[in-house]
Amino acid sequence: MSTFIKKDLDIISKDYEIVLFEFRQTRKNIFLLEFSRQLLFLIKHTFSSKRIVCMFGGYHSLLPSIYGWLMHTPVWIMLGGYDCYSFSKINYGAFHKKLFSKVVSISYHFANLLSPVHASMINEPYTYYDSGYPNQGVRYFLPDLKTKIETINNGYEPNKFPDLGLNRKPMSFLTVASETTGASFFRKGIDLILEIAPFFPDFSFTIIGKTPEQLLDSSENVHFMPFVPYESLKNIYNEHQFYLQLSIAEGFPNALSEAMLCGCIPIGSNVFGIPDLIGETGFILKRRDLALLKALFTQIQNDDLNRLEGKARKRVSELFNLKLREDAILKVLAELKP
């Protein structure tokens, strides 16, 4: 279970007793078994439960949404990003797969409330990359959707990601990805990092994540690291001057937020929640274009970076604090009705 899901469960458990069901989606051949398990779980617990909360939209949200509607139990689906988009060229997003799109559509229509982690995931023009659509977002792909939508931004704990005041390596850039293969290679912008690195040999680039052997033979200034424990990330953030988030699609990226708390200067793509998260504390790549990225890096070389010191941490601490998310979640749960 991911750390940010655990944080939400900790918040909910402050005022409510949680009965948890984990839908295993790793193997398609056991989906029927999982649906059966889930149905039995719902039958057993719905009569004694006052709310149904689904983390993200997917196969796992289908039965809870329908069952909650039948039993007049309010259903709340928290949306994370993938469940709002369609990027067919990179095989990413709930709405580019016919069956999956139908499943999330039914879930969203039967739910009582949808809560994306950023307002841009509802319906917003998209210009960073040729996605095949002028807009992205749940209401763009489901224009007849009547379900109420209330945005609740992600939240972070400044004390868990401190700026340690270390001497950071100048012109050092960090990217953290769960993996650098398949769709993630392009979606996370790993390919752009490998393309830009040879043009700036005095810069150092570190990429953390599962890495295939063929990528290891890259520029000398690109360094790959395997997964590190979540608790150790703060030390690595503090060693780097910049954090790169050149993604094609993100909802509200956790690693970028944590790196900003640790004092990294953010560089992000012009997609969804990233520009709002960065604000005036760093730099935005307007389009997925190598020439534009070269120009941006040249600008950084000639910029007075001291003007940005402390701004990224201050922005996340004040605007995207975990306490704000906690208050919003508990308020929604208290007011949620069928």
CATH of domain 3-155+322-335: 3.40.50
Q: Are 48 and 75 in contact (CB under 8 A)?
A: no
User: What's the residue count for the chain?
Assistant: 338
Q: What is the pLDDT of residue 31?
A: 76
Q: What is the pLDDT of residue 179?
A: 72
Nearest to residue 197, comparing CAs of 175, 214, 176, 169?
Answer: 175
Q: What would the 3-class secondary structure string for 88-157 be? A: HHHCECHHHCHHHHHHHHHHHHHCCEEEECCHHHCCEECCCCCCCCCEECHHHHCCCCCCEECCCCCCEC
Q: What is the pLDDT of residue 319?
A: 97
Q: What is the pLDDT of residue 25?
A: 72
Q: Are 261 and 277 in contact (CB under 8 A)?
A: no
Q: What is the pLDDT of residue 228?
A: 84
Low-confidence ranges of the chain (pLDDT < 70): 1, 26-29, 211-217
Q: What is the pLDDT of residue 217?
A: 64
* CATH 3.40.50.2000 location in the chain: 158-319
Please report, for residues 104, 203, 209, the alpha-carbon distance to residue 223 in angstroms, rounded to integers and kept in the order given.
39, 11, 11
Q: What is the pLDDT of residue 27?
A: 64
Q: What is the pLDDT of residue 3?
A: 78
Binning the chain into helix, strand and coil, the percentages to the nearest 5 are 45, 15, 35
Report phi then psi at 84, rounded to 5.
-125, 0
Q: What is the pLDDT of residue 24?
A: 80
Angle between helices 98-110 and 59-71 (to 10 degrees): 30
Answer whether CATH 3.40.50.2000 is correct for domain 158-319. yes
Q: What is the pLDDT of residue 5?
A: 87
Residue 135 corresponds to which tokens in the numbers above? 């807009």
Cβ-based neighbours of 106, under 8 Å, separated by 6 or more: 62, 65, 66
Residue with tokens 């007011």: 335
Nearest to residue 258, comparing CAs of 156, 326, 106?
Answer: 156
Q: Which residues pair with 285 in a beta bridge?
A: 269
What's the first-to-final CA gap in the chain, in angstroms? 28
